[in-house]
């Protein structure tokens, strides 16, 4: 196949990135629950254990706290672990090691160590897995200085950002939306880096800026395409990193379009939309605003089991279309 148009799924892109990282650096290894012969709950590690062996693709017991701590300890002492939480919800079990240890160790020790650990979190709703296997907890970790938190939205970025994370000397938390795993897209071969901390403009437009994260980037692009026929020209900013956040790209976009809609799957209140709204309101872009800022986020509820309820919990394309239209037409 022609390399220029080679397509991989998001999951395959991550797997390829991990293989490249292990090929490039003997210190890189994988840890997690059922990532070996099982291939990972979402088949992201796949057959890597056959290629790299059980010393480098380590099945852990069901011990999220201990496992996360082992990864932190290995990172501090010279290894480059990539630790997979089977579901992002299980971050709750490993929170102590993530927040108190990984994030703070360098700081508490006055810069004497670095903690180059990568943690991967399959996140989000839409799989019928109900309230304890569907959450979007990235803003929790985004609130912690010392961590870097990323949400790649395409197969291309999933690979390039994972390789950036492995090369990063600090702890990087990757939130991967489970519904993206099967999404296909162009993924270059070989090693490349998509930098952490840089947002990407996925679609240029002049009437409205949508700042979206993870799977909401795809939904925002669909909404933008649908509104094209109505003469509404939308710019879609894929935030990609929520800590450190790319303020300038957001501010510049809002100055151009004069309207801002934030779209994210996590619970709306106290989420990334609040941060994006506030940084715009605090910036020179505030004077450019022609309409109030609008946020579309998850409902104030745990994720329900019933599929219709589940869908209604998080923003869908029609919700984005309606909100964008109202904003541009001055209904709000």
**Which of 16, 33, 64, 200 is flagged as catalytic?**
64
**Which residue number, 29 or 140, has a Cβ lying nearer to other proteins?**
29
Q: Is 79 in the site for other proteins (CB under 8 A)?
A: yes
Judged by CB under 8 A, the residue of 3, 37, 109, 281 near other proteins is: 109
Give dist(CA 200, CA 139) in Å, integer. Answer: 19
Give dist(CA 38, CA 42) in Å, integer. Answer: 10
Rounded-to-10 torsion of CA 255, 258, 264, 268: 110
Question: Stretches 57-65, 130-138, 175-183, 251-259: which one binds other proteins (CB under 8 A)?
Answer: 57-65
Place of tokens 């990609």: 240
Q: Is 281 in the site for other proteins (CB under 8 A)?
A: no
Q: Is 36 in the site for other proteins (CB under 8 A)?
A: no
**Which residue number, 168 or 310, has a Cβ lying nearer to other proteins?**
168
Q: Is 193 in the site for other proteins (CB under 8 A)?
A: no
Closest CA to 199 of 214, 220, 184, 219: 214
The question of whether 177 is a catalytic residue gets the answer no
The question of whether 186 is a catalytic residue gets the answer no
Given a contact cutoff of 8 angstroms between Cβ atoms, the answer to whether 46 and 15 are in contact is yes
**Which of 133, 176, 177, 310 is flagged as catalytic?**
133
Q: Is 23 in the site for other proteins (CB under 8 A)?
A: no
Judged by CB under 8 A, the residue of 68, 161, 187, 280 near other proteins is: 68
Secondary element (H or E) of residue 241: strand 241-243
The encoded tokens of residue 101 equal 């240890």
Residues that contact other proteins, how many (by CB under 8 A): 41
Q: Is 76 in the site for other proteins (CB under 8 A)?
A: yes
Give dist(CA 123, CA 274) in Å, integer. Answer: 20
Question: Which residues fall within 8 angstroms of residue 100, CB to CB, at 6 or more apart?
Answer: none
What's the angle, vertex CA 160, arms to CA 148 and CA 253, rounded to 5? 70
**Which residue number, 116 or 273, has a Cβ lying nearer to other proteins?**
116
Minimal distance in Å, beta carbon 79 to other proteins? 5
Q: What phi, psi does 264 have (nearest 5°)?
A: -155, 155
Known catalytic residues are 64, 133
**Contact set with other proteins (CB under 8 A):** 27, 29, 55, 60-61, 63, 65-79, 81, 96-97, 100-101, 105-114, 145-146, 148, 169-170
């Amino acid at each position: 196949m022609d390399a220029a148009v080679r397509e991989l799924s998001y999951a395959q892109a991550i797997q390829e990135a991990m293989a490249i990282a292990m090929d490039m650096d003997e210190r890189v290894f994988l840890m997690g629950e059922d990532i070996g012969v099982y291939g990972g709950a979402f088949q992201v590690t796949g057959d890597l254990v056959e290629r790299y062996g059980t010393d480098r693709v380590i099945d852990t017991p069901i011990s999220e706290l201990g496992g996360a701590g082992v990864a932190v300890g290995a990172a501090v002492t010279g290894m480059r672990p990539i630790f997979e939480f089977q579901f992002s919800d299980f971050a709750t079990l490993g929170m102590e090691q993530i927040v108190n240890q990984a994030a703070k160790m360098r700081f508490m020790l006055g810069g004497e160590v670095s903690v180059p650990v990568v943690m991967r979190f399959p996140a989000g709703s839409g799989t019928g897995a109900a309230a304890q296997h569907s959450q979007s907890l990235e803003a929790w970790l985004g609130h912690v200085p010392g961590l870097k938190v990323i949400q790649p939205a395409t197969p291309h970025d999933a690979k390039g950002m994972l390789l950036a994370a492995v090369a990063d000397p600090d702890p990087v938390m990757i939130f991967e939306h489970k519904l993206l795993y099967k999404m296909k897209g162009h993924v270059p071969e070989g090693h490349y880096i998509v930098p952490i901390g840089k947002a990407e403009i996925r679609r240029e437009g002049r009437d409205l800026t949508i700042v979206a994260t993870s799977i909401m980037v795809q939904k925002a692009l669909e909404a933008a395409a649908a509104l094209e026929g109505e003469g509404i020209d939308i710019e879609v900013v894929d935030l990609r990193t929520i800590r450190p956040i790319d303020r300038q790209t957001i501010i510049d976009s809002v100055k151009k379009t004069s309207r801002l809609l934030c779209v994210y799957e996590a619970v709306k209140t106290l989420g990334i939309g609040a941060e994006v709204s506030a940084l715009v309101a605090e910036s020179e872009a505030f004077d450019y605003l022609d309409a109030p800022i609008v946020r579309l986020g998850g409902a104030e509820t745990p994720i329900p089991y019933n599929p219709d309820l589940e869908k209604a919990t998080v923003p869908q394309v029609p919700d984005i279309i309606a909100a964008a239209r109202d904003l541009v037409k001055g209904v709000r």
